[in-house]
């Protein structure tokens, strides 16, 4: 079990050195100092001051975790994950909270539902909030306003699930066209012109989703070519003009770790398949916008979440007055990204300037050779990753 060992230096200064054995924790004596201030109160005061130094130092310590292959495998939670998150949530002798967020290239359901399920699965005492959670398509919220009252096609996931997720992002600005497998063909209006295609999750029917996407991008936003649809708009594009339909993907992962013995293919594989077909037909690839780890936009969005979460933790540790907290966090947090995929977790963290820790519980297999992107550190699991990172930071401030 993770704990702290307290060692004293010249009084009254205190240096905290981590020791990951609960039995190593000292018992606080009940003696009282001459001025009536108990040893426990003075010790707590020193701990509180240390906590502020740890979180308010420039830059403050924070964590970002991948989920699949790091915290869980399929529907099974890794026991090391429970212990690590409990520790970061303040489940330690000193009660110190260290901010963290979860970043995943997965998705397929709403952030609220996913956070509830993760909280129950991981057994965290403090429920994971949507302010701590970023899944692949969360970043679509930042572009929803660009499609005010414009039809867009949403793809992927279980039939009927993704349109509901998309509607939660902005029910006014984002007009979702439902593409349930059983209803999409008779439900399409040939006069509807789509402004964009959003791939929210791994498609369940690659052939159908690839076909309808090809129809729309090759017909300048329409499902049917001009010769087969009513001529109702004066603004129809000419055949020789390039398509203006924006194509969005939110997960570039070719592989991801589950409870299956070997990695599974993900949304990135669907993008490769779609582009291969399009290139075979048109002689070139179709332009697209890619989000998800390791893209720059996704890590920038994640850093915003971390800053907000850091502010929340500092506020919780203060007296509740805003003046007790060191203002808005206008500096970059010191982030340790813990992931299992060198191509997404490690590559993105390194590019962002974060510290990166690669774990062996997911996609990465050390038997296949060194990782394509070199992490700051390699750990067996997430608990060892947290242990190493905090030991490293504590040694720097002693």
pLDDT value at residue 110: 92
Residues in the chain predicted with pLDDT less than 70, given as ranges, are 1-58, 170-189, 227-242, 257, 317-332, 397-398
* For the chain, counts of helices (H) and of strands (E): 10, 17
Beta pairing class for 355-359 and 334-339: parallel
- Compute the 3-state secondary structure of the chain and give helix, strand, coil in percent, each to the nearest 5: 40, 15, 45
- What's the first-to-final CA gap in the chain, in angstroms? 23
Q: How far apart are CA 269 and CA 355, in angstroms?
A: 28
pLDDT (0 to 100) of residue 9: 32
Supply the pTM of this predicted model.
0.78
Q: How far is CA 330 from the centre of its chain?
A: 21
Domain range for 331: 3-136+294-397
Are 115 and 154 members of one domain?
no
Confidence (pLDDT) at 165: 86
The total of structural domains in the chain comes to: 2
Residue where a domain stops, chosen among 237, 263, 290: 290
How distant, in Å, are the alpha carbons of 86, 126, 350, 369 from that of 372? 32, 36, 12, 9
Are residues 243 and 314 part of one domain? no
Residue at which a domain ends, from 290, 315, 332: 290
Whether residues 173 and 246 fall in one domain: yes
Domain closes at, from 261, 290, 319: 290
pLDDT the model gives residue 86: 93
Instruction: Tell the burial category of 250 from Cβ atoms under 10 Å away from its Cβ (0-12, 13-18, 19+).
Output: buried
Same domain, 299 and 286: no
177 lies in the same domain as 259: yes
Regarding whether 225 and 330 lie in a shared domain, the answer is no
| Token duo for residue 200 | 């929210």
* CA distance to 141, 214, 215, 239, 368, per residue, from 288 (Å): 17, 13, 16, 20, 32
Could you give the CA distance from residue 6 to residue 18 in angstroms, rounded to a whole number?
8
90 and 227 inside one domain: no
Tell me the CATH number at 327.
3.40.50.1000
Q: Are residues 298 and 285 in the same domain?
A: no
Shared domain check, 364 and 310:
yes
The answer to whether 56 and 314 are in contact (CB under 8 A) is yes
pLDDT at 186: 47
In a shared domain, residues 299 and 238: no
- Say if residue 14 is in the same domain as residue 130: yes
Question: Cis before residue 294, ω within 30 degrees of 0?
Answer: yes
Is there a single domain that holds both residue 265 and residue 307?
A: no
């Amino acid at each position: 079990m993770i704990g702290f060992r307290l060692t004293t230096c010249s009084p009254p200064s205190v240096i905290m050195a981590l020791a990951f054995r609960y039995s190593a924790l000292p018992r606080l004596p009940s003696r009282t100092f001459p001025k009536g201030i108990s040893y426990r109160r003075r010790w707590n005061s020193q701990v509180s001051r240390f906590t502020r130094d740890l979180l308010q130092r420039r830059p403050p310590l924070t964590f970002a975790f991948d989920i699949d292959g790091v915290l869980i495998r399929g529907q099974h939670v890794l026991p090391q994950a429970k212990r690590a998150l409990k520790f970061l949530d303040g489940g330690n002798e000193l009660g110190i909270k260290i901010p963290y967020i979860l970043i995943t290239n997965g998705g397929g359901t709403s952030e609220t539902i996913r956070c509830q399920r993760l909280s129950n699965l991981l057994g965290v005492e403090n429920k994971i909030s949507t302010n701590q959670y970023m899944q692949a398509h969360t970043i679509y919220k930042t572009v929803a306003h660009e499609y005010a009252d414009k039809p867009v096609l949403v793809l992927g996931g279980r039939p009927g699930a993704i349109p509901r997720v998309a509607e939660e992002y902005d029910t006014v600005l984002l007009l979702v066209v439902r593409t349930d497998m059983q209803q999409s063909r008779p439900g399409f209006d040939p006069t509807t012109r789509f402004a964009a295609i959003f791939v929210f999750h791994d498609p369940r029917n690659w052939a159908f989703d690839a076909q309808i996407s090809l129809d729309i991008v090759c017909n300048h936003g329409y499902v049917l070519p001009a010769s087969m649809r009513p001529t109702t708009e004066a603004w129809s594009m000419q055949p020789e003009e390039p398509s203006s339909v924006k194509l969005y993907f939110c997960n570039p992962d070719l592989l991801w770790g589950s409870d299956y013995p070997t990695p599974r293919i993900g949304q990135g594989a669907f993008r490769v398949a779609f582009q291969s077909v399009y290139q075979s037909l048109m002689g070139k690839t179709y332009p697209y916008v890619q989000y998800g780890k390791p893209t720059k936009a996704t890590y920038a969005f994640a850093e915003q979440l971390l800053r907000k979460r850091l502010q929340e933790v500092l506020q919780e540790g203060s007296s509740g007055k805003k003046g007790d907290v060191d203002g808005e966090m206008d500096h970059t947090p010191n982030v340790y990204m813990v992931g299992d995929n060198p191509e997404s977790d490690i590559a993105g963290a390194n590019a962002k300037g974060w510290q990166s820790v690669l774990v062996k519980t997911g996609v990465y297999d050390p038997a296949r050779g060194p990782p394509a992107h070199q992490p700051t550190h390699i750990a067996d699991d997430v608990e060892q990753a947290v242990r190493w990172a905090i030991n490293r930071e504590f040694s720097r401030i002693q």
